[in-house]
Structure 1
Amino acid sequence: MTDFFVSTGWLAEHLDDPGLSVVDGSWYLPAQGRDARAEYEAGHIPRAVFFDQDVVVAPGSTLPHTLPPPEVFATFAGSMGIGRDDTIVVYDGPGLFSAPRVWWMFRIMGAKDVRILEGGIDRWKREGRFVTDKPTKVAPCLFEVAFDPGRVASLDEMRRVVETGTAQVADARPAGRFEGVDPEPRAGVRGGHMPGARNVPALSLGRDGRLLPPDELRAAFETAGIDLTKPVVTSCGSGVTAAVLVLALETLGHADTRLYDGSWTEWGGRPDTPVATGKA
């Protein structure tokens, strides 16, 4: 068991610590009706920098949120004043939606101590803690990247997984989209799921801005048909909430976990990939 969270009380107590980086990793679907950057500019946790998940991406990619090459990520991180040896605390609005994606990115790029703020800035504000609209001043630094490519799955690798069953696929999208009943939010993307995939909706794994207790987490994966003793690849719409599943699996001590970065936008947006509908 590993706990990747810090409490609002802990962060408030340690805001002045040297070597602490606070990162607003908020990103929202259009249906959520929230503007991440506007909320950051209106009031953010002191010392927080804004990590724009629509900008820190692979240059020229036609897919949303594509993981940038290591050297590109290092440039972004360094410009935000974040070092690989920092204690990095990431937050979003509700606490367990987009922050895990930033947590995952920093970790696979070599950061050693990355945490998520439980309850996010929504809880921080409800508790009456201080926020500021003043820009965070940072001193650019060198982020010494140490990329782990084994934690990311490509389209070709996913084709092999689907064809051979060498790993399980856990899909984090809501059930309606997984089953092909509800439309995808992006034009030109088919409904349904990869043959053999199992549905573990990301929003079902949290409560009050943090993960469910371990026994409930295990039950959620096992009920979905995921064997926690075998390899798992996580997927979602564009690679954001798939990281919630990675977070849950690693919290349970599951080490053989990869994230399909292209996720359903890539798979469902192609004419040459097999698609299944209905319940798994």
Structure 2
Amino acid sequence: MSSEDNLLSLLIDSDQLEANLGNTNLLVIDVSCSRESYDNGHIPGAVFLDYRRLFNGHSPVPNKLPTQEQLSLLFSELGLSRDTHVVAYDDEGGGWAGRLLWTLDVIGHARYSYLNGGILAWRADDKAQEQEQTLPQASHYQAEHINLHERIELDELKSKIGTENFAVWDSRSRGEYEGTSSKAERAGHIPTAVHYEWTEAMDKENELRIRDMAEIITELQTKGLTIDQEIATYCQSHHRSGFTWLLGKILGFKQVRAYDGSWNEWGNRSDTPIET
């Protein structure tokens, strides 16, 4: 994605967004964890998206990428067009916002930005908020699964484990990684996976904005995740790894791919290798 082709850069702050509010090509989407957060105060003009619309909802792995038909309906309801520049934010440091932007990338829509720190930063910066719901103007958007290199599925991931210049990034909690806690039938992590919990990159004293990026890159390199690798990132449902996928893009990693099946798929199968 070239910044020259976009209204805004990938990572923006509240001042940059504020200066562009009202632009007819701008669509601000609130992907907060609850509708209550949106109703309590949101960025002027922002539309609300229930994060569950970013899952296909089909068994046995309901958290996987929605179908093209589901995505066409969703983004038509949101009023997306090929010229729309999306700004995504949430109230938790970037997990759901990252999942949304990953979804846009998969369908070939590269005009997007992430508001650093989301609504928490917006409020801390004393920016204007509104409580009245903004209803999007519907469009006719045809979504297709185009950029599948942004996604990695189970069979390909299994085949690449341990291969040269390929790494796996586990963004879950330490307990989930070590197998002392589990949200699936089996506990542990994908073999060779490096653990770097998603919240480690957030400044908890500064509204969950992304910490100093040079420090994060050094920390990741120390753990074995380098900028020139192909990296597959996952969590339980590709929510927390929505942020780590986004973080990799922001840091300029060569290729970060999301395993949207995540542990909800891997840990509930009997034919997947596991380490603890």
TM-score range, shorter chain: 0.7 to 0.9
Aligned to 1:150: 149
- Per-residue Cα deviation, 1:10-65 (whole angstroms, up to 9, x for no partner): 222221111110101123xxxxxxxx122223332221112222133225233243
Q: Please, what TM-score do these two structures have when normalized by structure 1?
A: 0.86
Distance 2:219 2:99 in 1: 20
Query: Residues 160, 166 of structure 1: CA spacing in aligned structure 2 closer, same or farther, 3 A cutoff?
Result: farther
Whichever residue aligns with residue 270 of structure 1, its letter is R
Is residue 200 of structure 1 aligned with residue 221 of structure 2? no
Query: Residues 274, 143 of structure 1: CA spacing in aligned structure 2 closer, same or farther, 3 A cutoff?
Result: same
Query: Residues 227, 122 of structure 1: CA spacing in aligned structure 2 closer, same or farther, 3 A cutoff?
Result: closer
Shifted more, 100-109 versus 62-71: the winner is 62-71
Distance 1:95 1:125 in 2: 14
Aligned to 2:249: 250
Distance 1:255 1:71 in 2: 30
Check conservation: 1:95, 1:117, Cα contact below 8 A: no
Distance 2:201 2:26 in 1: 28
Aligned to 1:33: none
- What's the offset of the Cα at 1:262? 0.5
Matches within 5 A, 1:121-136: 121-136=119-134
Matches within 5 A, 1:23-34: 23-27=29-33
Distance 1:92 1:107 in 2: 18
Unaligned 5+ segments in structure 1 are: 28-35
Shifted more, 245-254 versus 152-161: the winner is 245-254
Distance 1:95 1:84 in 2: 27
% identical aligned pairs: 29
Check conservation: 1:217, 1:248, Cα contact below 8 A: no
Check conservation: 1:154, 1:260, Cα contact below 8 A: yes
Check conservation: 1:85, 1:112, Cα contact below 8 A: no
- What's the offset of the Cα at 1:166? 6.7
Shifted more, 199-208 versus 144-153: the winner is 144-153
Runs of 4+, deviation exceeding 4 Å: 163-166
Aligned to 1:260: 259
Residues paired across the two proteins, number:
266
Shifted more, 167-176 versus 57-66: the winner is 57-66
Query: Residues 231, 18 of structure 1: CA spacing in aligned structure 2 closer, same or farther, 3 A cutoff?
Result: same
Unaligned 5+ segments in structure 2 are: 4-8
Aligned to 1:173: 172
Aligned to 2:61: 63
Whichever residue aligns with residue 195 of structure 1, its letter is P
Aligned to 1:110: 108
Distance 2:226 2:87 in 1: 31
RMSD (CA atoms) = 2.2
Distance 1:202 1:232 in 2: 15
